[in-house]
Amino acid sequence: MGNSRAYPVFRTTDATVAYRQAERLRALLAECEDEAELYAELRTVEDVRRMVAVLPEATFDYLDMRTGPNGEDVWFDLDVTTASAAALEAHLPLDVLTDVLTGTVEERFVAALGQGIAEICWSGLWPERPEVDQYASAKYDGVQIVFHGERAQLGPWTEHHTVFVHGGSNRGALIRAQELAARIGSEVLGEPQLGW
């Protein structure tokens, strides 16, 4: 049980730079899962159109749960691939959460982002180094980019994009985070946060 510790290791206002740094870290994983998780808030019709072009098979939904006049849940059921701009506008904001094959659409996903909070998560295994108490954990290890945010658990909107490395809570986790940050010319930017 429990969550990973997420160490912020890079922050910038340039989403492409954040993605490139996260990709460098992902390449350092001893093993990377076959699927990456993508999430984005879509605030405009243009945001939706760009994201549909990248993720045509993904499920789009209301950003916040909606209820009908009798308190019943209202589900989003509009076909975003064919809906008119006016129809989409009436349903905004939306979000999308999907898994994709690692290394297939992440770069295009970043290019399609608008001003909403978004993230990419890659799970895997960091190399083991028992001599410095660094052990791999399939449950905890990985890399995350939060676009327009500084919290691994998706908090308030900011203009910054933050890259996190995730790991367990053993003594070697901070050392690993420091070493990984140094590999991309950075440093750990604060206390560890609650991760996935």
Tokens of 124: 């895997």
Residue with tokens 């890399």: 143
CB-based contacts of 1, cutoff 8 Å, min separation 6: none
The 10s digit of each residue's pLDDT in 46-86 is: 999 999 999 999 999 999 988 888 888 888 989 999 999 99
b (16+ CB within 10 A) / e for 75-89: eeeeebeebeeeebe
Distance CA(90)–CA(149), nearest Å, equals 26
Distance CA(103)–CA(153), nearest Å, equals 23
Angstrom CA distances, 69 to 24, 61, 72, 73, 141, stand at 50, 19, 7, 10, 44
The 10s digit of each residue's pLDDT in 22-36 is: 999 999 999 999 999
Angstrom CA distances, 78 to 53, 62, 88, stand at 16, 11, 8
Q: Where are the alpha helices (DSSP H) in 122-169?
A: none
What pairing do the DSSP bridges indicate for beta strands 142-147 and 73-74? unpaired
DSSP E strand stretches across 25-179? 31-42, 60-62, 66-67, 73-74, 94-101, 118-125, 142-147, 161-167
Report pLDDT for 133.
81
Distance CA(127)–CA(123), nearest Å, equals 13
Report pLDDT for 4.
94
Task: Look at residue 1 and tell me whether its pLDDT is greater than 60.
Answer: no
Report pTM.
Answer: 0.95
Distance CA(36)–CA(39), nearest Å, equals 10
Distance CA(152)–CA(166), nearest Å, equals 10
